[in-house]
Structure 1
Amino acid sequence: MSKIVLITGASSGMGKTTAELLLKKGFVVYGAARRIDKMNDLQQLGAKILCMDVTDDATMVSGVEEIIKNEGCIDVLINNAGFGFYGAVEDVSIKDARYQLDVNVFGAVRLIQLVLPYMRKNQFGKIVNISSIGGKLANPFGGWYHASKFALEALSDSLRMEVKHFGIDVIVIEPGGVKSEWSDIAMENARKVSEKGVYVTMVNKMIETGKKFKEKNAEPEIIANLILKAITVNKPKTRYSGGFMAKPLLLMKKIVSDKMMDKIILSQFKGKK
């Protein structure tokens, strides 16, 4: 019997690519996003489309209820919806910071709360949280984004131990550089937030450096295949990483001191105050 998958942020990037791959592999895929007009191609491939905003509880509740009504269960939840609001910690408004956490943390956790009763009932489930290597290490101007991903990593660790005896696996995916609209949006946010303040030189250097590395970013299929592996093996690892510079940076974070890591990162931000 085909497994039932709910994937958020399915209108573009890794989310859409993952949805396409899972459809090809025979999964029943519910693709959720705010921009349902961007999922017409997924619908033509056989996906079932949900209009869902992970900051709007009513849309999450109704989406899960619709899946249960139609399918009777949810086997796999892929929390992929997310974005990066970049800018100096000093400059980003608390309103924008809260929204960053609402999308990347509270939206994911709320969906987990909604699907867990059905997974527990079936004594089976896979919860896949899309984090980032930015959930293990932090760059300047990404403070609130990193805070959201660090939080998602910790919540995943706690949850994994809480639900293991119900037959539910909690899996974290940590992408490095991946081709998507994510980086352009994050950099534009940083430029708008900090372009007139004391951090402008460093922000401009970050944007310049990001453009140089952009062409080296991995195709989203790399992450889609990691997700497929994670939800189909009998005993998935707790974490999978992939994409440009993911593994070397995660290894470096393990073996290098904080101060040395700061020096390495700041070497890419050679601006003055």
Structure 2
Amino acid sequence: MWLCLAVLVGLYYLLRWYREKQVVSHLQDKFVFITGCDSGFGNLLARQLHLRGFRVLATCLTEQGAEQLRNQTSDRLETVILDVTKTESIAAATEWVKERVGDRGLWGLVNNAGICTPMAPNEWLTKQDFVKMLDVNLLGMIEVTLSLLPLVRKARGRVVNVSSVMGRVSLFGGGYCMSKYGVEAFSDSLRRELSYFGVKVVMIEPGYFMTNMTSPEVFNGSLQASWDQASPEIKELYGEKFVANFMKTSNLLKPSWSGNLSLVTDCMEHALTACHPRTRYSPGWDAKLFYLPMSYMPTFLVDLMMYWGAPRPAKAL
């Protein structure tokens, strides 16, 4: 019995390996639109796809970021300024894309633009802190997707949405986890709707990777700013020691693989080039061995794991 089971499991993985090795043809004729290419995952992916022969349409928030990217590539990569929180900016970028892709349509849309801060206990934050995060990470992504879907459908292409393991298990306050839960929900419904038209929707759910926006220094600076704006009542409840301990915890977020951003961009590239991409990719050993298993655990176990060793407010019971 066990031998039969082992053979079946082996055949399954062999078949999956074979399917995932099949690559789509004529990459040099395909256009891919990527948001958030000033730095981090978007910047590396744009250069990576350029080397694979794609026609890359990269968006940056600043002209400086766009110029640096152009200087590192050829005329097969073009840039445009895009603020995903502004409807007029999205509309202008959509027209820009239409002029370039013509009747071929858009093979790939990679919704990568996002922010990670402010990140702090919910009571320290204001409504505007949540709105800022949702505008970029969720609502902006939705508006970009809806604007470009007709072009993706024409090419029977791919939509790749960058979520996070924090879209499966919420480990801290603020709008980040909330926005990534929303990305998961939007992607799931979109995947089913677009399957009728031959369009594939893929989610990338990275663990912790250190970029310009996710370093411990950035997290600690955001935490301090949120603490400074908190009310006197909140400061009395939590205490200065809580803030110091919280910052020490964030300084531990430096696993050995966290600087290897190609672990994430390789998943994005596979989602765009494979004939049979996965529905979800979870780059990072912390995602595979810790956060994803945790997301399937009973709630009380997850709570115990989060309470163990976590900073405690000064006035906690």
TM-score range, shorter chain: over 0.9
Structure 1 residue 270: Cα displacement: 3.0
Q: Which moved more, 1:58-67 or 1:34-43?
A: 34-43
Shift of 1:264: 1.2
Partner of 1:258: 299
TM-aligned CA distance change 1:203 to 1:235, over 3 Å? farther
Out of 233, 238, 248, the residue aligned to residue 208 of structure 1 is 248
Match of 1:38 in 2: 65
| 1:192-219 deviation per Cα after TM superposition (whole angstroms, max 9, x unaligned) | 1125623454443232122122253241
- Count of residues in Structure 1 that have an aligned counterpart in Structure 2: 271
Match of 2:196 in 1: 165
CA contact (8 A) 2:40 2:261 kept: yes
**1:209·1:268 contact (CA, 8 Å) conserved in 2?**
no
- 8 Å contact from structure 1 (residues 125, 169) kept in 2: yes
Q: 1:251 to 1:120 in 2, by over 3 A?
A: closer
Q: Which amino acid aligns with 2:86?
A: D
Q: Give the AA of the match of 2:201.
A: V
* Structure 1 segment 125-164 matched on structure 2, within 5 A: 125-141=157-173, 143-164=174-195
Cα deviations by residue, 1:8-65 (Å, 9 ceiling, x for unpaired): 1100011111111101101111111212202323212022111000001111111121
Which one has the largest radius of gyration?
2
- Structure 1 regions of 5+ residues with no counterpart? none
Relative distance call for 1:186 and 1:61 in structure 2 (3 A) is: farther
Partner of 1:232: 273
C-alpha RMSD over aligned residues? 1.7
- 1:50 counterpart = 2:80: yes
Is contact 2:66-2:81 (8 Å) kept?
no
Partner SS for 2:32: strand
Give the Å deviation of 1:160: 0.4
2:211–2:259 contact (8 Å) kept in structure 1: no
Give the C-alpha shift of residue 169 in structure 1.
0.6
User: Residue type matched to 1:76 in 2?
Assistant: G
Q: Which amino acid aligns with 2:293?
A: M
The one-letter code of the counterpart of 1:166 is: F
SS of alignment partner, residue 77 of structure 1: strand
Q: Which moved more, 1:156-165 or 1:236-245?
A: 236-245
Question: CA-to-partner distance for each residue in 1:104-147, whole Å, 9 max, x for gaps?
Answer: 0011000110111122233x121010011111111123x31100
Q: Which amino acid aligns with 1:209?
A: T
Unpaired segments ≥5 residues, structure 2: 1-25
Residue of structure 2 in register with 1:221 after alignment:
262
How does the TM-score come out when normalised to structure 1?
0.93
Q: For the structure 1 residues 74 and 40, does the alpha-carbon distance in structure 2 shift closer, same or farther, using more than 3 Å as the test?
A: same
Q: Is the 8 A contact 2:35 2:58 kept in 1?
A: yes
Q: Is 1:92 the equivalent of 2:119?
A: no
Answer with 148-157 or 36-45: which moved more. 36-45
Q: CA separation in 2, counterparts of 1:254 and 1:105?
A: 21
Distance 2:66 2:284 in 1: 24
Distance 1:67 1:207, change over 3 A: same
CA distance in 1, matches of 2:294, 2:54: 36
Tell me how far 1:75 sits from its aligned partner. Answer: 1.3
